[in-house]
Structure 1
Amino acid sequence: MVPEGMNAVEATVRDVLRDVLSLPQEQVDGFSADTELFGALPELDSMAVAGVLTELEDRLGIVIEDDEVDGEMLETFGALTRFAAERALV
Structure 2
Amino acid sequence: MCYDRLTDEGVAEMRLRDLVASELRCSLRNGGMAGVMVLAVLLVQGASALLLLASVVGAVALGAVLHQCVFVAGALVQRGRVRVGGSAEDSPLESA
TM-score w.r.t. length of structure 1? 0.32
Greater radius of gyration (CA):
2
TM-score w.r.t. length of structure 2? 0.31
